[in-house]
Amino acid sequence: MMMGASLPRWQGGTAHNKVEKGTRSMEEKGADEKKGSVGAIIGVIIVIVVLVVALVMFGKKGSYELIVAGKAAPGFELPDLAGEMVPLSRYKGKVVFLNFWATWCEPCEEEMPSMEYLYKELKGKNFEMVAVSIDSKKPAVIEEFVNKYGLTFPILHDRKHKVKELYKSTGVPETFIIDQHGVVRERVVGPRDWSGPYATKVIRDLLASPPKPPAPSV
């Protein structure tokens, strides 16, 4: 009888264990579903962020385009070392050698003598050289550099780097050769020895055979 009496309690315990297991299974299933929902939400958020970034970049695509050969040279106005404002349009009708540089730039320092050589050779031949310093220091620092190397071509000061950014310059030195109609014909990244004929071929070709004016945009 004692064994018979204990049987229902054993059976009841088994049933209770089954209920507990069933409850845990439902809780685990609910937790898995919750995790799945959170993961899905995070995935949707990531997709939305990627789409927004892509749309913004696409909308601003034009502002990230490099100024390369065939593009119109953006106009600007900068002060010279005496403080006089000089617009790029002052040199309209000439071949313009536009160079971005800095006094702390060693490759710029190496390039300057050949630039001075070229300037003296082509001065007065419908050619102009404009060297834009991106130094953040006062003009006196630039003047000291200019005097040290005996530079005679025009020097402008882009202290806040606005023109450098306008031209999407990737660094210094960097040079843009602009034709008589304000169109960029060559972009040179890094230093170059401007005393040789090969280095100045584009400039000499423009001087010898000026290009026709670009067709007006419709």
Per-residue confidence (pLDDT) for residue 78, from 0 to 100: 98
The predicted-structure confidence for 156-174, as pLDDT tens digits, reads as follows 999 999 999 999 999 999 9
Q: Please spell the DSSP secondary structure of 13-37, one letter per residue.
A: HHHHHHHHHHHHHHHHHHHHHHHHH
CATH of domain 77-208: 3.40.30.10
Output the average pLDDT for the chain.
Answer: 84
CA R_g for the chain:
35
Q: Mean pLDDT throughout 74-93? A: 97
The alpha-helical segments, DSSP class H, found in the chain are 2-59, 106-122, 139-149, 162-166, 201-208
Per-residue confidence (pLDDT) for residue 42, from 0 to 100: 76
Cis peptide before 173 (omega within 30 of 0): yes
Q: Are 95 and 202 in contact (CB under 8 A)?
A: no
Q: Mean pLDDT throughout 201-208? A: 97
The predicted-structure confidence for 8-67, as pLDDT tens digits, reads as follows 444 555 555 555 555 555 566 555 666 667 666 876 677 676 555 545 444 444 456 889
Per-residue confidence (pLDDT) for residue 62, from 0 to 100: 47
Q: Are 209 and 216 in contact (CB under 8 A)?
A: no
Answer whether residue 198 shows pLDDT above 70. Answer: yes
Domain ranges of the chain: 2-61, 77-208
